[in-house]
Amino acid sequence: MTRWLDDDEQRTWRDFLAATQLVNEALDRQLQREAGMPHTYYMILVALSEAPERSMRMSELAARAQSSQSRLSHAVARLEERGWVRRHRCDSDRRGNYAVLTTEGFAALAAAAPGHVAEVRRSLFDVLTPEQVGHLAEICAALRNTLEQ
Amino acid sequence: MTRWLDDDEQRTWRDFLAATQLVNEALDRQLQREAGMPHTYYMILVALSEAPERSMRMSELAARAQSSQSRLSHAVARLEERGWVRRHRCDSDRRGNYAVLTTEGFAALAAAAPGHVAEVRRSLFDVLTPEQVGHLAEICAALRNTLEQ
DNA sequence: CCATTTTACTTGAACTCTCATATACTTAGC
DNA sequence: GCTAAGTATATGAGAGTTCAAGTAAAATGG
Print the SS3 string covering B84-147: CEEEEECCCCCCCEEEEECHHHHHHHHHHHHHHHHHHHHHCHHHCCHHHHHHHHHHHHHHHHHH
- Domain-located, residue A92: yes
Cβ-nearest to B12 among A9, A24, A133: A133
Q: Which domain holds residue A96?
A: 18-147
- Domain-located, residue A61: yes
Residue A1: what pLDDT? 86
Instruction: List the A52 CA – C5 C1' distance (angstroms).
Output: 33
Q: Which residues contact B68 (CB under 8 A, 6 or more apart)?
A: B62
- Domain-located, residue A11: no
Q: Binning pLDDT at 50, 70 and 90, where does residue A38 land? A: very high
Task: Give the domain CATH number at B96.
Answer: 1.10.10.10
- Domain-located, residue A4: no
CB contact under 8 A, A135 and B135: yes
Residue B130: what pLDDT? 98
- Domain-located, residue A48: yes
CB contact under 8 A, A137 and B11: yes
- Domain-located, residue A47: yes
Q: Which of residues 90-129 of A touch strand D (CB under 7 A)?
A: 93-95
| A32 vs B149, higher pLDDT | A32
Residues of chain B whose pLDDT is less than 70? none
Q: What is the pLDDT of residues A100-147, one digit of tens each?
A: 999 999 999 999 999 999 999 999 999 999 999 999 999 999 999 999
- Domain-located, residue B12: no
Cβ-nearest to A128 among B8, B15, B139: B139
Q: Which residues contact B87 (CB under 8 A, 6 or more apart)?
A: B76, B80, B97, B98, B99, B100
Residue A149: what pLDDT? 74
Q: Whole-angstrom Cα distance, residue B135 to residue B116?
A: 23
Q: Whole-angstrom Cα distance, residue A140 to residue B17?
A: 9
Q: How many domains does chain B have?
A: 1
Q: What is the pLDDT of residues A60-98, one digit of tens each?
A: 999 999 999 999 999 999 999 999 999 999 999 999 999
CB contact under 8 A, B147 and A11: no
Residue B1: what pLDDT? 86
- Domain-located, residue B69: yes
Instruction: List the B144 CA – C23 C1' distance (angstroms).
Output: 34
Q: What mean pLDDT is reported for chain A? A: 97
